[in-house]
Amino acid sequence: MPILPIDTGRYGTPEMLEIFQEEKWVQRMLDVEAALAWAHGEVGDIPREAAEKIVEMASTKHVRVSRIKEIEKEIGHDVMALVKALAEVCGPSGAYVHLGATSYDIVDTARALQLRDAVDIILRKLDSLELILMKAAEKYKETIMIGRTHGQHALPITFGLKLAVWMREVSRHIERLNGCKKRLIVGKMSGAVGTQAGLGPNALRVQELVMKRLGIKAAEVTTQIVQRDRHAELICILAMIGSTLDKMATEIRELQRTEIGEVYEPFRRERQVGSSTMPHKRNPELCERVCGLAKVLRSLVIPALENVPTWHERDLTQSSSERFIIPEACILTDYMLHLMIGIISGMEVDEDRMLKNLKLTRGLIMSEAVMLALVRKGMGRQEAHELVRRLAIKSRSEGTGFKKVLMEDETVRRFLTEREIDSALDPRRYLGTAVEQVEKAILKTVEERRARGLEE
């Protein structure tokens, strides 16, 4: 009976959920058992016919999940239950199943296969989000809007600059995850304490052949388990990705506020309901969902780090927690990326509202430009700052336009003409290198994408 929202299908994409389905996980472990038997056959540890029979039967078509669970109820050991179920269907060849291996040779190597598929999906989604942000940054690179600090109007920026910042953050996550993947996707055949004693004189060759057949690398050295710093690194990176998506979603939520109204997440006008009681509501519920799930994703970092220490060559303290945190981290990250790709692709940008909001302070957002104009005409920087600060307070307290206050001040008029004041108060003249920065960020991203083998 489904209990958690992932189980009910509320959260998660079909392609990622499939990777973590129980039957798929059992098949991955059977794949490892098959590779082990094949490797033993190759080096002459067991008869080739036995190895071939084990390879043939190592499938959930023959080894039923229900049968594994029946055996587990009797013996209380999940991996040994799988071994017994596989041996049952192999006849006499079943005597060679799991030869020389320990449980976590199978579990950790199967986990590597599982995570290889999961990470590839996440990387593809990151590539897609990066591309969508790149196109949006190009589209809006000259779209002027107010920049805000501390929630207050600060200076003019462009919407494209904001998007370019997000784009490069995603690019860094791609770099991090690709680096992590090299360390993460490793298996092992090292036995109960890492010495490979149970695998006999051909141990290193058996491990090499197993990993070659499975298409992954062997860990350089292990205890009974692959060390959990590898998994902790993955969870930390996924939590960072989640925090970036949280950041993006939070910004869109803020910009969608009624008082601001500059950017909106997609809304299906024909059918979508915003509130059960207020028909007019258009809530940023997709962004809010991303922000909510980011909290859960970040919470998985602590158990991931706690899994790194073990008693001696291993204990079971990682086992129970990572049954939760690894699937959850991958499923939630992938789902949040899926949501954000849809949000950015379909977001509505109100450029007219952006221009209107630029004028809310009646010119005060250009105080820095006025100060620097005074400095360029010979006034000391600190003197200019204090003068403009006082005039800004006067403009705000009296409800008078900033230009009028500047024009009426004798000190300002000694230094600046009306034309120079108008120039200083023009937001479009005070974008600095914003457009150039967007273009440079896009160029760098294009270069990196090409290096990754992508067209854009």
Burial of 419 by CB count in 10 Å (0-12 exposed, 13-18 middle, 19+ buried)? exposed
Active site residue 321: no
**Which tokens go with 329?**
């981290």
Q: Are 286 and 265 in contact (CB under 8 A)?
A: yes
DSSP secondary structure string for all residues of 331-396: HHHHHHHHHHHHHHHH-EE-HHHHHHHHTTTTTGGGHHHHHHHHHHTT--HHHHHHHHHHHHHHHH
Gap between the Cα atoms of 177 and 119, Å rounded: 8
Question: Is 150 a catalytic site residue?
Answer: yes
C-alpha angle 405-411-415 in degrees, rounded to nearest 5: 105
As a whole number of angstroms, the distance between CA 143 and CA 231 comes to 42
**Integer Cα distance of 163 and 428 in angstroms:** 19
- In whole angstroms, how far apart are CA 13 and each of 20, 146, 216, 294? 11, 36, 25, 16
Which of 150, 312, 320, 397 is flagged as catalytic?
Answer: 150
Cβ pair 101, 198 in contact under 8 A:
yes
Catalytic residues: 150, 275
